[in-house]
Amino acid sequence: MSDIIVGIDIGTSKVCTVIGQLGRADELVIIGEGMDSCCGIKKGVIVDIESTARAVKNSVEQAEAKADIKIGSAYVNIIGMHVSVLNYRSEINRSGEENEISQRDIDKVLHNVRDIELPEDRQLIDIIPRQYIIDGYDEIVDPIGMLGVKMEVDADVIAAKITSAQNIIKSLEKAGLKIDGLVVESFATAEMALTQEEKDIGVILVDVGGGVTDISVYKNNRLLFYDSIPVGGDHITNDISIGLKISHNDAEKIKRQFELALTSLIKNDQDILVNEINENKKKAVKVSEVVEIIECRVHEILYLCNELLCKSGIRESLPAGIVLTGGGISHIDGGKQLASEVFELPVRIATPKLNGITKSEFMTAAGIVRFANNNKKGTSLINEIKNKKQVQKNNENGVFKKLSALFKKLS
């Protein structure tokens, strides 16, 4: 089953599983998908491991049935609020310069990246090589087979909050699965939503989920900025529920019925009948009342994203503009117009582009599969990720000293 890669996206409103298979020409095909609703996550934080594990199990079983295989392990997402991405350069000097650079050299230079100092509440979950520099020549993606003495690597070091990482692992283990790796959600989504050209020339990816909106900026194929705000599509539903005094379920239904975020796009401002909460009667409301509520909240979400970007000082010179994704905005007409007004940049809505993906809901899970496949030449930290709790418990002289010693012992 080494040609099988499984991605699980644990989101605020649902858990999605995607099973990918590598074909003969190394092309990735999706052979199974599964989805189950989940209420174990609040504002991006796992608050109920049992119910998250149940949703994971159900979505995996559906995907397994479609693919007609049993899976034992998976890659899983971790959201932006719980990770920091640090840039780190490490180097080695090769003695046998007449020998070609091999995977061993790559492993060695990446291993040195592990010496980075991290805050006590963080653990290393991934090291993503971005470029190699051989004897001063940079922008090398795959140095294997080249000659050179000094070998450097520029890597993105991904550090996660220990509690968040361990709760994700626990949820997977309770669902009977081993963990292959943790993938930063934005990397997975970008893998599916953005083109290489957009990532090169500069682009902002805005992923409006259920409870959280993630904002990431890519330029020169690097992640330049990454942040989240704890507001998403569920807040639109709450606003409708409170504004019209109707139940949350009815509000969600109405939101999905109109899928509109601009009052100027309303064709027929008719009356609709809604069930008054706790009253056994119906009342009439205008379509424009619903759409106005949606418009306000979508505008606010986009405004907050723009504020974050302006404060960070990296809003300029991103010619590819904005790419919108996530269930909270991608189904809603007018979201694109609102975004171009707020950001004053070109906007497009992302569409999934991977063989076998049938619904946009599976974008992140499919992106995890694709990211894991594209980065398998990197370094596997899975044992360290899982054992982190134990290391932390034994820690008396600073987490990182011990962790480094452990890495050295394991290598």
Nearer to ligand ATP, 188 or 385 (CB): 188
From its phi and psi, is residue 328 left (phi > 0), alpha (psi between -120 and 50) or beta? alpha
Residue 321 near which of Mg ion, ligand ATP, none (CB within 5-8 Å, type-dependent): none
Task: Check residue 232 for interaction with Mg ion (CB under 5 A).
Answer: no
Which parts of 246-325 fold into alpha helices (H)?
248-258, 287-312
Residue 234 near which of ligand ATP, Mg ion, none (CB within 5-8 Å, type-dependent): ligand ATP
Task: Check residue 44 for interaction with Mg ion (CB under 5 A).
Answer: no
Residue 361 near which of ligand ATP, Mg ion, none (CB within 5-8 Å, type-dependent): ligand ATP
| Strand partners of residue 338 | none
Task: Check residue 209 for interaction with Mg ion (CB under 5 A).
Answer: yes
Task: Output the six-digit token pair for 289.
Answer: 């009342």
Find the part of the chain contacting Mg ion (CB under 5 A) among 9-17, 231-239, 251-259, 394-402. 9-17
Residue 90 CB, nearest approach to ligand ATP (Å): 33
Cβ-proximal residues to 159 (8 Å cutoff; 6+ apart), any chain: 83, 84, 85, 86, 118, 119, 122, 123, 124, 125
Task: Check residue 328 for interaction with ligand ATP (CB under 6 A).
Answer: yes
Residue 331 CB, nearest approach to ligand ATP (Å): 4
Task: Check residue 13 for interaction with ligand ATP (CB under 6 A).
Answer: yes
Report the residue from 233, 321, 334, 335 that binds ligand ATP according to the rule CB under 6 A. Answer: 233
What DSSP string describes 280-297? S-EEEEEHHHHHHHHHHH
Report the residue from 178, 256, 311, 359 that binds ligand ATP according to the rule CB under 6 A. Answer: 256
Residue 73 CB, nearest approach to ligand ATP (Å): 22
Q: Can you state the angle between helices 248-258 and 287-312, rounded to 10 degrees?
A: 90
Number of residues that bind Mg ion (CB under 5 A): 2
Residue 335 near which of ligand ATP, Mg ion, none (CB within 5-8 Å, type-dependent): none
CA distance 208 to 228: 10
Site for ligand ATP in 33-92 (CB under 6 A): 44
Find the part of the chain contacting ligand ATP (CB under 6 A) among 8-16, 131-139, 371-379, 384-392. 8-16
Task: Check residue 232 for interaction with ligand ATP (CB under 6 A).
Answer: yes
What does the buried/exposed string (b/e) look like for 183-199 if buried means 16 or more CB atoms within 10 Å of the residue's CB? bbbbbbbbbbbbeeebb
Contact 373, 20 (CB under 8 A): yes
Query: Strand locations in 135-281, DSSP E?
Result: 137-140, 150-161, 178-184, 203-208, 213-219, 222-229, 271-275
Which parts of 68-102 fold into alpha helices (H)?
none
Number of residues that bind ligand ATP (CB under 6 A): 23
Which among 226, 211, 192 is positioned nearest to 83, based on CA atoms? 226
Task: Check residue 11 for interaction with Mg ion (CB under 5 A).
Answer: yes
Assign 248 to helix, strand or coil. Answer: helix
Residue 295 near which of Mg ion, ligand ATP, none (CB within 5-8 Å, type-dependent): none
Q: State the residue number with the nearest CB to ligand ATP.
A: 209
How many other CB atoms sit within 10 Å of the CB of residue 219?
Answer: 20
Nearer to ligand ATP, 148 or 327 (CB): 327
Contact 41, 47 (CB under 8 A): yes
Which among 328, 312, 389, 392 is positioned nearest to 360, based on CA atoms? 328
Which among 124, 49, 106, 62 is positioned nearest to 402, based on CA atoms? 124
Nearer to ligand ATP, 11 or 32 (CB): 11
Report the residue from 36, 250, 259, 292 that binds ligand ATP according to the rule CB under 6 A. Answer: 259
Q: In what order do the strands lie in the sheet with 150-161?
A: 83-93, 150-161, 122-134, 137-140
Find the part of the chain contacting ligand ATP (CB under 6 A) among 167-175, 297-305, 325-333, 384-392. 325-333
Task: Check residue 295 for interaction with ligand ATP (CB under 6 A).
Answer: no
Report the residue from 8, 14, 370, 371 that binds ligand ATP according to the rule CB under 6 A. Answer: 14
Site for ligand ATP in 195-224 (CB under 6 A): 209-212
Q: Where do contacts with Mg ion occur on this chain (CB under 5 A)?
A: 11, 209
Residues that bind ligand ATP in the complex, under the rule CB under 6 A: 11-14, 44, 209-212, 232-234, 237, 252, 255-256, 259, 326-328, 331-332, 361
